[in-house]
Chains A and B, each alone.
Chain A
Amino acid sequence: NAGVTQTPKFQVLKTGQSMTLQCAQDMNHNSMYWYRQDPGMGLRLIYYSASEGTTDKGEVPNGYNVSRLNKREFSLRLESAAPSQTSVYFCASSPQPHSPSTSYTFGSGTRLTVV
């Protein structure tokens, strides 16, 4: 089925460890996004890529890096995980960047726990 695929679905890290969350979309969308979802808060934008070859910070970028590997793939890296990064991470994509009328497709999420 067409959509946004995230891996892994679950991950437990120790403080200080690093890992990369993977995201791929097969809808030929230009733009991709990484959000985090925490209890009692709305989704918050970490980083986004308006088009292949570009990346920009969102609302909460500290502690993260991203790579737009190609048009399909957008990865999120935690270089030194901290307990404050325990969250559910969602990747999303859209045909165009931030157009008010654009539609967004979300992946199923990665539940990350940092102990």
Chain B
Amino acid sequence: KNQVEQSPQSLIILEGKNCTLQCNYTVSPFSNLRWYKQDTGRGPVSLTIMTFSENTKSNGRYTATLDADTKQSSLHITASQLSDSASYICVVTAERGANNLFFGTGTRLTVIP
């Protein structure tokens, strides 16, 4: 069964600190993995997209890693800011199928001053 699991469910960190969010998946055949940021009351916005051959991809203070062998990904946020408070959703795309996007339930990050 194609599934995407994220951990932790929620996280509170102090402004300026780093954090890492985890994503494990069982989607097959794998095509790519995306991390989205969803601010409260808004739709998801893409942060990074990685294919099978990519191990790391950065977008400013966001760095995503992918281990296709263990089917794990992480999103590392450096020097967190209050504006990083949001839900972060891992989305895995399968190679085939009409409904080929599989969404994780997200990690709710709160950055406090």
Partner-B contacts on A (CB < 8 A): 4, 40-45, 48, 56, 58-59, 90, 92, 97-98, 100-101, 103-104, 106-109
Q: In the bound complex, do residue A42 and residue B41 qualify as a contact, i.e. CB atoms below 8 Å apart? A: no
Determine the interface band of chain B, counting residues with CB < 8 A from chain A: 20 to 34
Q: 10 closest pairs, A vs B, by CB?
A: A42-B103, A106-B43, A100-B31, A43-B103, A100-B93, A106-B44, A45-B99, A108-B43, A107-B43, A108-B42
Q: Tell me if A98 and B105 are in contact (CB < 8 A).
A: no
Residues in B neighbouring A42, C-beta threshold 8 A: 4, 89, 102-106
B26 CB within 8 Å of chain A: no
Contacts of A100 in B (CB 8 A): 31-32, 93-95, 100
B45 at the interface (CB under 8 A from A): yes
Q: Which one of A97, A104, A108 has the highest number of Cβ atoms from chain B below 10 Å of its Cβ?
A: A104
List the A side residues contacting B106 at CB < 8 Å: 42
9 pairs, CB–CB < 8 Å, chain A vs chain B: A42-B105, A43-B44, A43-B103, A58-B99, A100-B93, A100-B95, A107-B43, A109-B41, A109-B42
Question: Which residue in chain B gives the minimum CB-CB distance to A3?
Answer: B43
Question: Shortest distance in angstroms between B51's beta carbon and chain A's nearest beta carbon?
Answer: 8
CA distance A40 to B87 in the complex (A): 12
Compute the total of residue contacts between A and B using a CB distance below 8 Å: 55
Residues of B within 8 A of A90 (CB): 43-44
A4 to B42: give the CA distance in the assembly, Å: 11
Judged by a CB distance under 8 angstroms, whether B55 is at the interface is: no
- Give residues in B with beta carbon < 8 Å to A: 4, 31-32, 41-46, 49, 51, 89, 93-95, 97-106
Contact status of A56 and B98, CB under 8 A, knowing A42-B103, A42-B104, A43-B103 = yes
Write out the residue numbers on chain A whose beta carbons fall within 8 Å of the beta carbon of B45: 106
Q: Which of A4, A40, A45, A103 lies in contact with B105, CB distance below 8 A?
A: A40
A94–chain B nearest beta-carbon distance, Å: 10
Supposing A40-B105, A104-B46 touch, asked if A59 and B41 sit within 8 A by C-beta, the answer is: no
A58 to B101, CA, bound (A): 11
- List chain A residues, Cβ under 8 A from B49: 103
Per the bound structure, the CA–CA distance linking A59 and B1 in Å amounts to 14
